Structure 1
Amino acid sequence: MTSGWVSCLDILLYPGDFRMLSDVTCVVATPTALGQLVQCPYSSAMNMLGRLRSLLGREKGEGRETRERQTQAGLQPQCKTTRKKWSRRWYRASKEPPPTPTRLTKKQVKQKVESLTTQLQVMTAQRNDLRDRLILVTEGSLDNRPYHRPNPFYEKLKMEHQQVMSDLQNFENENWEASQKLSELTKEKIFLCDLQSRLLMEQSQLKKKLDMLRQEKENLLEDWVLLKQHLGDLQVLSKDQEETSDLQNQQQQEQQRMEERLQSLLKQRELVTQQKNLALKLQHHLTVSQMSTLYEN
């Protein structure tokens, strides 16, 4: 009983000597010990529960500090002194005869039963609380406790908690997907903004080119009007030149005709001159011949 596992029955049977259990590592709540705990009075049970809590606290290191203080003070450990007391009390308890039960009235029995029932309820609640704390510390979950009866409210709350956690997970997944879509939309927005800025720059450049082309068109229209005017003037001049050229052609033709006629007249004159000369020659020959004939006659 000085080390290892200790039953609550030992603590219930020997409540004054459980301080000797300096090397206890765990306390087991057996059914026999719990029955003894229920049958004992409320004050002694509370004292036992307090001692059990102190024992559990000593497991965390409080007992070691007490022993260190006793060693530093030069005192003898209490476990050695209480072993003799425990052995004596065990011997006396085995030798003493059991107490004779006293008869109680129905009212006293009823009151006793009611008080014991109340004490039992309180101690049961405290036991459940301590057991839940112990299981929560050792196992990490309250579902591993013995004789666990499923609470419908707890099960419903657990299902709601699971549903809420699943909804939260779905919401986180949806949030992650939405963040991914948002990042993609942000990238697309940046790309579209860059594209829009480029299009605006190209539009401004095209507008400048359009203004330049319009200015060139206006200049060309002005040049075209001037050229049209020059063309009209040239057409008028060409008409005048054509008319003058026609007159010149007519004059040239008339001149040619006159020259041809003059040539023909000159030729006719030469012919007439030749004929006249010939006629003169013939007349001279004729006269000569007549003269000769006359002389011959």
Structure 2
Amino acid sequence: MNGRWVGKMGTNMFSRLRTLFRRRNGECEETGVRKKDAGPKSQRKSWRNRWSLGRHRTTREASSQPSTFTEEAQQMEILEELSIKLQSMKYERIQLRAILASYTKKNLNNRLNSFEMMKKDHERVMSDLQKLPLEISDSLNKCNQLIEENESYSYLHSLILRDLTQVKNHVHVLRLEKRKLWEEQIALRGTCEEVKKLFKEVLEKICEPCAEDLAVV
């Protein structure tokens, strides 16, 4: 874009220079034509007309010379300014070309490497995206399996809790029975002691007559 702009500006400068040179050439040709036209007329007229015409021409040329010099000086100044601008633009164009060339040489490999890296990243992302539905399906299957296992564990847990409640109730019943048996055992011990006492008394009553009979004999 900078190169096009510089070329366009250079073309505009050259067109302006051509216009200035054409103007100068046109003024010179017009002055020459006037001189040629004035030559034959001066030969056909009398010496008085020649003198008056020559005097008028001298006066006109004397009056037109300062304006012509001023225009030429202005045109030369414009030409110098345009030449300076053209040289500066050429220098800027050379600098821009050098910068562009150095940038292209330095960063071409980097840009190619970055492009390759971006391409690989894109391929990896696309591969991951293609694998994503399968991974989602596997995850859903695993989730369903976990849900089923959780339901089975919940059912087993409820069964275990029910059995545990039954066991606790049975243990409580056994404890009550044990306490009752212990109380009965204590009562039986007391009864046994009483039976032993009665049996002892009975033996004593039976044995006393026998002992007396033996003593008599």
TM-score by length of 2: 0.49
Larger RCO: 1 or 2 (CA < 8 Å, sep 6+): 2
Higher alpha-carbon Rg: 1
Question: By percentage of residues, which structure has more helix?
Answer: 2
